[in-house]
Structure 1
Amino acid sequence: MGIPHGKDGGAGDRRAATLADTVDRLRAELEQLRSAAGTTAVLEQAKGLLSERLGCGLAAAHTHLLEIARDSGVTPEVAARLLLTPEPGGEGRPSPGGRTIPDLVARLRAVSRTPAAPPPGPAPPAAGGLGEQIEQTQRIGNLGWGLWDLAGGRIYWSDQLYRIFGRDPSEGPLPLDRLPERVVAGDVPLVVHLVRTLLDGSEKVDNEIRILRGEETRDVRLMGEPVLDAFGMPAAVRCICQDITRWRLGERALKASRVQLERRLIAAERHQAIEMQRSILPLPDGIVTKPGLRAAVRYLPAGHSARVGGDWYETTAIDGEGVFLAIGDVSGHGLTAAAAMARLRNGLSGLAFSGAPPDRLLGWLNRLTLHWPTSLTATVLAGRYDPARRILTWAQAGHLPPLLIRDGKAITLDPPEGILLGAMEIPEFELETTSLEPDDLLLLYTDGLIERRERGLQEGLDLLIRAASTADSYDPEGLLDHVLRAFGAPNPNDDTCVVAIQIE
């Protein structure tokens, strides 16, 4: 009999494979542990930062971190990393704020509404027990009360009310008509109105005011009601004041942290959108030469940090088909608009090689727009330039018509019919033919150039025509520089794309 081969070798291979799987699994688990440890460290640092800013404990800081993440639409880990990112420009960290007391106040109100069972342990002393508890309640809640006896002319203040107003008890309480003297100037009309309301006996008051206590300003909640006699006339006024300064400081610090996080999220999204645009839509340096024409391009992102848009252009030479020209603008801003811009531009660039006329290309592009996962609209102008005959055949989908500059005079070309992409299932696009001459200039542009909040579309178009007609140079780059100078600063709310084409 022969000796069998491969049995022991097969078992060895299986053991080696099992060992390799085990090593891979252990490596993956080690990476997970490292990642979890890193995440935990970031969360702890962010909690420490919030604890310092808000003047609260680590548990409360953790709660605030979760609230910030929830309100900002990001995970707690992302929120923590963004909060720990240094401020641009070298701004200092906010000074630590005070602790808030909403939990203490809520407990006191609950106790006042619902009798609670006595806690285990020794009972409080019977003599003076209630008075001591009231005093402690005022101290913990920073609450003080006052009573103005209008009939007898006497005024009573609790010890805590003296502390809230920073007033020496030896000076006595303040009359109602002198309360406006102790508030900031901006709150004087409000306090005068509140005092009059109480003295008229018409209704209760509950407002926040800012009082002056030495060199500092304190936020105080003032709650008061008139006490009426048998004839319905005010006989006294009762008020409760609560110093809520630390609460408001905590709220302002928390709001500042949220604003900081939102600003950094917006800046991160803007950076990603601009990088995406640059990778998809590289801007040429200087003049671009195509068969029968020379072109220059300018692209200006929106001045506002949150509004990177989806403007784009295309100039492509196609063998036997002349030069394909296009410019467009996708609705919306940010990464969504940049991604949609890439899809439409690439789609149209590919369709252009089919040799189909521009009106048919726009019809196909409209179908592509309708199948975008989210609601989307866009404007596009597309054309084919025949350098042999100097003829531009073009169509538009809700886009602004080109500007023709000939012999120093600028006019707007009459646009063919066409509705913006994504508005209808089966739109109709007409085709237009324009004969051009040597040294003619065409200006293609998006609405960010001429439309501003402070002026209408027609006013901006008139400005563009004047600027193009008075240019010092009719070189493509010289024309673009002159036009952009005429419009001043970039549009703060929308991107701007301008293409100048000179016919040879």
Structure 2
Amino acid sequence: MVESTAEDWPVRVQRLEQEVAGLRRAMRTRALIEQAKGILAERQGVDPETAYAQLSQRSQRSNTPLVDVAADVVNGIAPPDRPAAVAVTAEAETPPVAPAAPRRTEALSITPEPRPLTVMAGLAPTKPPAWPDEAKRRLRRAVSAFTAADDITGLTSAVMANAGDPPPSGVAVFAAEPNGSLRLIGAEGWTSQQISEARRIPSLIATPMSEVVRHAHPVLFDGQAETDLALVGPGPAMVGYPIAIESRVTGVLLISWTQPREFTALDRSYLDRLAQESGRAVGRVWAQAIAGTAASLTGDLGWIQRVIDATSGMTQLLTPIRDAAGVVIDFYVAAMSPLAQADEPDALGRRLLDAYPHLLTNGIFDAYVRTLADGTPWEREPEPEDARVAGTWQRVVKGRRAAPIAGAIIASWRRVDEFVRLEEQVTQMEQLGHFGWCEWDPIGKRMWWSPGMYRLLGVSPRKGPLSRTALVELAEPESRPILTEALRRAAHGGQATVDIDLRRGGEELVRLRAFAAGEGPRPEETDPRGTVRLLVQDISVQLQLDEQLRRSQAQASAQRVRLAAEHELTRALMDLLYPARSFDHSSGPLRVVGRHFATDRTAPLRGDFCDAQLLPNGDLLLVVGDMFGSGLTAASAVARLMPPVVALGIAGLAPEAILAVLNTELHRLPDPPLASLALARVDHETKVATWAQAGHLPPILVRGRTATATPLKSPEGPALGLLPDAVFSSGAAQLEPGDTLVFYTDGVLDRRARDPLKNLSSKLGRGVRAGEPESALTVPTPARTDEACLVALSYS
């Protein structure tokens, strides 16, 4: 079994509060839905599950929330006895007009009719207007929420959520004390400041609530006319209803709006009925609400709050919360000093144990209760405790004190671990920044060194701070004069920055940068020297990094020069290989065109190449290739491959035999380069194209009569230079009039396409025109950041 710790309490409290809030919301609607299920089940003679299914179907068909559908079902019937808590529709249509005085009831009730002062508003109409369906639904939801409310908070929340349109800005409940004072026992929508100001209102102050108590009648203010009454709460427009036990008014229900508003006859009628229904909930939770407030307050504590606001420490004003037996079960945080509120901004206006649940386990809450009971101050020396700092739990050291005042207590605390934490932070910063600092005060004869100063100079802290003279002696001989001069200038109020060499611990040579500054002698002192402060930083690592950076920059510059020279040589070589970037040859009805798409002159050369030659017997020889690599290596390999191709073709070798010769030639080198190549010979008489390939992409045949483009099946053949004994084979394609055969390198492919080869075939099929091989050159869109070659042979 895992034991709970103090750190678990805030999480548990928050989770339980969320669960309770969720259960309350569910109870507000569940009772109404269950009531509607019962009505449908009785009316139609079905079981509850079927009745619930009917409710759900109505909700879906009308796109109306289920709780509103349930409210419509309940509002559509009127039981024989017509109790106010059940039958809403009929009474909502004609709300009853209340008598001049509050009704005598066995339970707690609220006078139903708001009869405003004659100078503020007119009376409610004798014949109330008809209510719209939305008002009936809202009142039914309010009745359900009142039934689920188990405390004054649930009551005020339900009133605020169902008070109509525009919605109110706040709802409050006051208890009337025998001496005429009013005590706030519950509020929703009020700020912490408003709650604090209205916590206890003396009888001498005339307010709308005191008028309700004095005349035992509701009071309505529309906020549009001036009044001599002191208005409290979040707005100028308000409605107050007396809460009465029999004929005695014991409290006030106050509903407020932030802006002045006009109360129509329908508004007054609806608010009357809402207050009447809330009276049943008030009667149920009234005793608990009275017991849960600080009933022992004997005076106005507002002046204490003003004093606390002016303090600079951690201070709180805590008023007790008692149970029915008068036992203190919690405290209400009525006021906080600015520093305390910054430390825990959400505590003001809450219960103490809700904001600080750990106080219940470490004995501090019990000490506060004893202080209130005994009337004697309490103080505790600083001790470690778990506290929430900036939203996180930390182990801190706090001293605490509490004193009773006017039925409440003032609690204060101070943290003494701040200095320890600050010193640890300084030590960490010194380690990260490789620095330390020291100070000499010749007047007070005091010296102080930081921990980083001892570590930086290799001096044991047991020896204590060194004098300025002893510090200078630690430096290397050539650095002592400049350090001495820097300290002298600082002693006379100047500043200086010097770099010195020093052997740390007498062994490791390090370079230090010293920043010296001083205040200079004070006028009343005769000693010409003043306080000197010295900040020293180890810059040895920084100097090493600077030196490495300089070397890297020099190497990068040399590399750029080499690359530039190689690039120029490569371009010159390629200019020799490609005196022209395109060609156009014909042999009878056969015509071949080609183009080398070059990049800009700053991009590295990739070694794509292409050529076509008209052989002596009238045949055409086509070649397209791509070197693996770039720069001078690729260019030299192209220069090695292209001349033999034409010579071997004139000699009559078949394409696969030429590839075998080229592969053997490359393997004569110690480290053979790799290349892909496609080679074709087209017979000018038979119009048969015989081709072979070495690791290259297949040519695409665009059939003229069908306007379709199909890649040819590749014969066997690995990349040139890959295998010393590679075997190559050839394939053949019979050309027909209108056909175009396209060879290319991968630079013309769209690599963003899912199938680049199929994408290129589709483009060629749509764009190539029969007998116009140059039309193939405009179809692909080679990326200008890469090289590409394309050769097109047409038979017209």
Q: Give me the TM-score of the superposition, normalised by structure 1.
A: 0.50
Separation in 1 of the partners of 2:658 and 2:583?
29
1:93-172 maps to which residues of 2 (within 5 A)?
131-134=472-475, 136=479, 139-141=498-500, 161-163=514-516
Distance change (3 Å), C-alpha of 1:321 and 1:429:
farther
Q: Which amino acid aligns with 2:515?
A: Y
Distance change (3 Å), C-alpha of 1:288 and 1:261:
farther
- Offset at residue 378 of structure 1 (A): 1.8
Separation in 2 of the partners of 1:371 and 1:324?
26
Distance change (3 Å), C-alpha of 1:480 and 1:141:
farther
Q: Which amino acid aligns with 1:263?
A: R
Separation in 2 of the partners of 1:173 and 1:338?
64
Are residue 374 (structure 1) and residue 666 (structure 2) matched?
A: no
Q: Is this contact kept in 2: 1:162–1:168, CA < 8 A?
A: no
2:134 counterpart residue number: none
- Offset at residue 400 of structure 1 (A): 0.8
Distance change (3 Å), C-alpha of 1:131 and 1:285:
closer
Q: Which amino acid aligns with 2:667?
A: L
Are residue 362 (structure 1) and residue 654 (structure 2) matched?
A: no
- Offset at residue 397 of structure 1 (A): 1.3
- Offset at residue 253 of structure 1 (A): 4.8
Distance change (3 Å), C-alpha of 1:162 and 1:436:
same
Please give the per-residue CA displacement for 1:137-183, whole angstroms capped at 9, x wherever unaligned: 775447799xxxxxxxxxxxxx95435xx898969579xxxxxxxxx
Q: Is this contact kept in 2: 1:322–1:386, CA < 8 A?
A: yes
Are residue 499 (structure 1) and residue 791 (structure 2) matched?
A: yes
- Offset at residue 461 of structure 1 (A): 1.6
Residue 445 of structure 1, aligned match among 722, 736, 744? 744
Are residue 289 (structure 1) and residue 642 (structure 2) matched?
A: no
1:468 counterpart residue number: 764
Q: Is this contact kept in 1: 2:694–2:719, CA < 8 A?
A: yes
Distance change (3 Å), C-alpha of 1:381 and 1:472:
closer
2:576 counterpart residue number: 279
Separation in 2 of the partners of 1:378 and 1:353?
22
* 3-state SS, counterpart of residue 368 of structure 1: helix
- Offset at residue 414 of structure 1 (A): 0.9
Q: Is this contact kept in 1: 2:748–2:780, CA < 8 A?
A: no
Residue 413 of structure 1, aligned match among 712, 718, 727? 712
Distance change (3 Å), C-alpha of 1:470 and 1:172:
farther
Separation in 2 of the partners of 1:330 and 1:263?
23
* 3-state SS, counterpart of residue 332 of structure 1: coil
Separation in 2 of the partners of 1:167 and 1:436?
96
Distance change (3 Å), C-alpha of 1:304 and 1:461:
farther
Residue 645 of structure 2, aligned match among 336, 348, 370? 348
Please give the per-residue CA displacement for 1:22-60, whole angstroms capped at 9, x wherever unaligned: xxxxxxxxxxxxxxxxxxxxxxxxxxxxxxxxxxxxxxx
Percent identity, aligned pairs only, is 27
* 3-state SS, counterpart of residue 720 of structure 2: coil
Separation in 2 of the partners of 1:350 and 1:167?
89
Please give the per-residue CA displacement for 1:259-279, whole angstroms capped at 9, x wherever unaligned: 333223222212211221121
Q: Is this contact kept in 1: 2:499–2:513, CA < 8 A?
A: no
Q: Is this contact kept in 1: 2:585–2:614, CA < 8 A?
A: no
2:128 counterpart residue number: none
Q: Is this contact kept in 2: 1:370–1:422, CA < 8 A?
A: yes
Separation in 2 of the partners of 1:266 and 1:333?
12
Distance change (3 Å), C-alpha of 1:399 and 1:325:
same
Please give the per-residue CA displacement for 1:238-288, whole angstroms capped at 9, x wherever unaligned: x95327666655654553443333223222212211221121233255643
Separation in 2 of the partners of 1:305 and 1:341?
20
1:52 counterpart residue number: none
Q: Which amino acid aligns with 1:134?
A: A
Q: Which amino acid aligns with 1:501?
A: L
- Offset at residue 306 of structure 1 (A): 6.1
1:242-391 maps to which residues of 2 (within 5 A)?
242=539, 248=545, 251-283=548-580, 287-301=584-598, 305=602, 307-320=604-617, 322-391=619-688
Distance change (3 Å), C-alpha of 1:451 and 1:269:
farther
- Offset at residue 340 of structure 1 (A): 1.4
Distance change (3 Å), C-alpha of 1:162 and 1:315:
same
Q: Give me the TM-score of the superposition, normalised by structure 2.
A: 0.33
Are residue 432 (structure 1) and residue 731 (structure 2) matched?
A: yes
Please give the per-residue CA displacement for 1:366-415, whole angstroms capped at 9, x wherever unaligned: 21121124322222211110122211011111111101122332211111
Q: Which amino acid aligns with 1:497?
A: C
Separation in 1 of the partners of 2:580 and 2:741?
19
Q: Which amino acid aligns with 2:766?
A: T
Separation in 1 of the partners of 2:639 and 2:554?
35
Separation in 1 of the partners of 2:558 and 2:653?
49
Separation in 1 of the partners of 2:731 and 2:795?
18
Q: Which amino acid aligns with 1:449?
A: V
Separation in 1 of the partners of 2:739 and 2:662?
29
* 3-state SS, counterpart of residue 276 of structure 1: helix
- Offset at residue 346 of structure 1 (A): 1.0
Instruction: Give the superposed CA RMSD.
Output: 3.7
- Offset at residue 316 of structure 1 (A): 1.0
Q: Is this contact kept in 1: 2:514–2:534, CA < 8 A?
A: no
1:203 counterpart residue number: none
Q: Which has the higher contact order (CA 8 A, sep 6+)?
A: 1
Q: Is this contact kept in 1: 2:475–2:503, CA < 8 A?
A: no
Q: Is this contact kept in 1: 2:474–2:502, CA < 8 A?
A: no
Q: Is this contact kept in 2: 1:269–1:334, CA < 8 A?
A: yes
Separation in 1 of the partners of 2:665 and 2:697?
21
Q: Is this contact kept in 2: 1:300–1:490, CA < 8 A?
A: no
Q: Is this contact kept in 1: 2:616–2:650, CA < 8 A?
A: no
Distance change (3 Å), C-alpha of 1:172 and 1:366:
same
Distance change (3 Å), C-alpha of 1:409 and 1:144:
farther
Residue 423 of structure 1, aligned match among 704, 710, 722? 722
Q: Is this contact kept in 2: 1:301–1:309, CA < 8 A?
A: no
Q: Is this contact kept in 2: 1:296–1:500, CA < 8 A?
A: yes
Separation in 2 of the partners of 1:131 and 1:273?
62
- Offset at residue 291 of structure 1 (A): 4.4
Distance change (3 Å), C-alpha of 1:428 and 1:168:
farther
Instruction: Say how many residue pairs are matched.
Output: 293
Please give the per-residue CA displacement for 1:303-327, whole angstroms capped at 9, x wherever unaligned: 6956312222221111226111111
Q: Is this contact kept in 2: 1:295–1:476, CA < 8 A?
A: yes
* 3-state SS, counterpart of residue 470 of structure 1: helix
* 3-state SS, counterpart of residue 483 of structure 1: coil
Q: Which amino acid aligns with 1:499?
A: V
Q: Which amino acid aligns with 1:276?
A: L
* 3-state SS, counterpart of residue 790 of structure 2: strand
| CA radius of gyration, larger in | 2
- Offset at residue 299 of structure 1 (A): 1.7
Q: Is this contact kept in 2: 1:380–1:397, CA < 8 A?
A: yes
- Gaps (5+ residues) in structure 2? 1-456, 459-467, 484-497, 505-511, 521-530
- Gaps (5+ residues) in structure 1? 1-111, 114-126, 146-158, 175-238
Q: Which amino acid aligns with 1:421?
A: L
Separation in 2 of the partners of 1:321 and 1:244?
75
